[in-house]
C-alpha cells in the first residue's frame, strides 16, 4: 500500500504515441506497461542481430544479440533476459548482471520487486541466481524454480544423483530432492513436484512420491507420517507455519494439515488452496461432482458451479470475500462470493479487489479487443491492449493502462465514471 500511495493519483491522462516507434525500428515485440503506468516499453530490433529495449521512446544504452521476456518488476524496474556472444544473463534497467550463463529463464520477483531471481544452466548443470549471486552447487537437472515472496529464498526440484539410460531400479530408489538456497535435502524421492517456502523461510515443503504408489508431503526432507494415493501443491499457514495440501483418499479429494485430514467433505477434485492474509480462512478450487467446478471456503462450496474451469482464486484484503475467473459453456466471467457477473467475455484475467473489498475489477477480452470491467460493468472503451486495473489506496479511483489507435494511455478515473 505504501508503494501505491507514492504514485500519481490525480485524475489526469498521459499519452505516449507509439507510431514513431514503427518508423524507427524493424520490428517491435509485445508492449509492457510499468506498474504505475508512467512507462511503456518493448523489445525492438534496431538492426541486423541487434536488439534493444525502447522505453517511452528512448532505447537502453547497450544493444544485445538476443533478448526475450521483457517484464517490469513490482517496484518499476524493467528487466529482460539478454544474450551477447552466446551467453545469457538478466539486464535490469539496461545494466546486465556480471554473471553469464549458457542459458537463463524464468525471472521471478519478490512481492515488493526489490529482489530478482532467475533459473540458469551452465556447462549442462542447473541452478538459480538471486540478484546476480548464483547457487554455489549446481545439479544435473532442475525443475519448478521458486522464489519466496520476501525475496530471501530460492528453491527448486533437483536431481541429486546421475541416472543412466535404462536405470529403472535406481530411479525407483530415488534420485530427486528439493534444494533451498542451493542446498539439497539429504532425503531422496522417486519424484518431487510443487513446493512452498514458509513465511519465515525456515521450512520448505514439497509434493513427493515415495515409491510407485505412495504420495505425501515432505517438509525439510521429512515426509508426513501418512501417505495418500495422490497429493497436490502444499501451502503454509501464514501464521502457524503448518502445512496444508490437497490429498486423495479412497478415490476422492480433501484437505490435510500436517498429515491430518481437516475437511470432512470429499470432492471429485480439489486444488489451488489459498489462505486469507490473516490465516483465518482457507479456500480451494473444487469439483463437487464430475465436470462441475466451483470454490469452497472453509469447506463450504459456492452455490454456483461452472462446467469448464475456475481459476485465479483471490481473497479480499480483509479475507471477507473471494473471487475467481470462471468459464462456463465456452464463455468467461468473474464470480464473487459465488455469484457470477451477468456479462460474459472471450477471456478474463485474474480479478483484483479494491483495498476495502467493496469493489472488484478485471481485464477482459471480447471480440479481439480489451477493456476493464468493474463490478460487472464494462468500461466504455475497447482497446488494442490493456493491463490489469489498479485501485487507488482509498479505493475510489482506478488506474487504467491501455493502447488505443497506436497511442499508449495512462488514465486515473474516478470509480463512479465506470460504474455510474
Q: Residues 312-345: pLDDT tens digits?
A: 999 999 999 999 999 999 999 999 999 999 999 9
Q: Per-residue pLDDT tens for 3-15?
A: 899 999 998 789 9
Instruction: Tell me what pLDDT residue 49 has.
Output: 85
Instruction: Tell me what pLDDT residue 46 has.
Output: 87
Which residues, listed in sequence order, are joined to residue 103 by a DSSP beta bridge? 121
pTM of the complete model:
0.94
Instruction: Tell me what pLDDT residue 288 has.
Output: 97
Q: SS3 sequence, the chain?
A: CHHHHCCCCCCCEEEEECHHHHHHCCEECCCEECCCCCCEEEEEEEECCEEEEEECCEECCCCECEEEEEEECCCCCEEEEEEECCEEEEEECCEECCCCECEEEEEEECCCCCCEEEEEEECCEEEEEECCEECCCCECEEEEEEECCCCCCEEEEEECCCCCCCCHHHHHHCCEEEEECCEECCCCECEEEEEEECCCCCCEEEEEECCCCCEEEEECCEECCCCECCECCCEECCCCCCEEEEEEECCEEEEEECCEECCCCCECEEEEEEECCCCCCEEEEEEEECCEEEEEECCEECCCCECCEEEEEEECCCCCCEEEEEEECCEEEEEECCEECCCCECEECCCEECCCCCCEEEEEEECCEEEEEECCEECCCCECEECCCEECCCCCEEEEEEEECCEEEEEEEEHHHHHC
Residue from 111, 96, 93 nearest 153 by CA: 111
Instruction: Tell me what pLDDT residue 345 has.
Output: 98
Instruction: Tell me what pLDDT residue 166 has.
Output: 76
Distance of alpha carbon 54 from alpha carbon 46, whole angstroms: 10
Instruction: Tell me what pLDDT residue 299 has.
Output: 97
Q: Which residue has the cell 474451469?
A: 309
Instruction: Tell me what pLDDT residue 47 has.
Output: 86
Q: Where are the domains of the chain?
A: 16-347
- State the architecture of 16-347 in CATH terms: 7 Propeller (2.130)
Distance of alpha carbon 357 from alpha carbon 257, whole angstroms: 28
Which residues, listed in sequence order, are joined to residue 177 by a DSSP beta bridge? 158
Q: Per-residue pLDDT tens for 211-249?
A: 999 999 999 999 999 999 999 999 999 999 999 999 999
* Segments in the chain below pLDDT 70: 1
Amino acid at each position: 500500500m505504501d508503494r501505491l500511495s507514492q504514485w500519481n493519483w490525480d485524475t489526469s491522462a498521459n499519452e505516449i504515441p507509439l507510431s514513431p516507434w514503427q518508423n524507427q525500428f524493424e520490428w517491435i515485440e509485445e508492449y509492457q506497461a510499468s506498474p504505475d503506468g508512467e512507462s511503456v516499453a518493448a523489445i525492438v530490433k534496431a538492426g541486423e542481430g541487434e536488439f534493444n529495449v525502447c522505453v517511452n521512446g528512448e532505447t537502453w544504452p547497450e544493444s544485445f544479440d538476443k533478448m526475450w521476456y521483457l517484464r517490469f518488476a513490482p517496484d518499476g524496474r524493467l528487466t529482460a533476459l539478454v544474450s551477447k556472444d552466446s551467453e545469457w544473463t538478466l539486464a535490469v534497467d539496461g545494466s546486465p548482471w556480471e554473471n553469464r550463463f549458457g542459458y537463463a529463464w524464468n525471472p521471478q520477483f519478490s512481492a515488493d520487486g526489490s529482489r530478482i531471481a532467475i533459473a540458469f544452466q551452465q556447462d549442462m548443470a542447473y541452478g538459480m541466481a538471486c540478484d546476480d549471486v548464483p547457487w554455489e552447487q549446481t545439479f544435473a537437472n532442475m525443475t519448478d524454480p521458486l522464489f519466496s515472496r520476501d525475496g530471501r529464498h530460492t528453491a527448486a526440484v533437483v536431481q541429486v544423483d546421475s541416472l543412466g539410460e535404462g536405470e529403472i531400479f535406481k530411479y525407483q530408489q530415488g534420485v530427486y530432492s528439493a534444494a533451498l538456497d542451493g542446498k539439497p535435502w539429504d532425503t531422496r524421492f522417486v519424484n518431487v513436484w510443487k513446493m512452498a517456502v514458509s513465511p519465515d523461510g525456515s521450512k520448505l515443503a514439497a509434493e513427493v512420491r515415495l515409491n510407485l504408489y505412495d504420495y505425501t508431503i515432505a517438509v525439510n526432507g521429512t515426509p508426513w507420517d501418512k501417505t495418500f494415493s495422490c497429493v497436490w501443491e502444499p501451502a503454509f499457514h501464514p501464521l502457524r507455519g503448518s502445512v496444508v495440501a490437497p490429498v486423495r483418499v479412497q478415490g476422492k479429494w480433501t484437505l490435510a494439515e500436517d498429515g491430518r485430514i481437516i475437511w470432512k467433505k470429499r470432492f471429485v477434485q480439489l486444488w489451488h488452496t489459498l489462505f486469507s492474509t490473516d490465516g483465518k480462512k482457507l479456500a480451494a478450487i473444487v469439483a463437487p461432482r464430475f465436470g462441475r467446478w466451483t470454490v469452497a471456503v472453509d469447506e463450504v462450496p459456492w452455490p454456483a458451479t461452472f462446467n469448464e474451469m475456475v481459476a485465479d482464486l483471490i481473497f479480499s484484503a480483509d479475507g471477507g470475500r473471494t473471487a475467481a475467473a470462471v468459464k462456463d459453456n465456452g464463455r468467461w466471467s468473474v464470480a464473487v462470493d459465488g455469484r457470477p457477473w451477468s456479462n460474459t467475455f472471450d477471456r478474463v484475467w485474474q480479478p483484483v479487489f479494491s483495498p476495502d473489498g467493496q469493489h472488484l475489477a478485471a481485464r477482459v477480452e471480447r471480440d479481439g479487443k480489451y477493456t476493464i470491467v468493474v463490478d460487472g460493468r464494462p468500461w466504455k472503451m475497447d482497446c488494442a491492449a490493456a493491463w490489469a486495473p489498479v485501485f487507488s489506496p482509498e479505493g475510489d479511483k482506478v488506474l487504467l493502462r491501455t493502447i488505443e489507435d497506436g497511442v499508449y494511455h495512462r488514465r486515473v478515473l474516478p470509480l463512479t465514471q465506470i460504474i455510474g
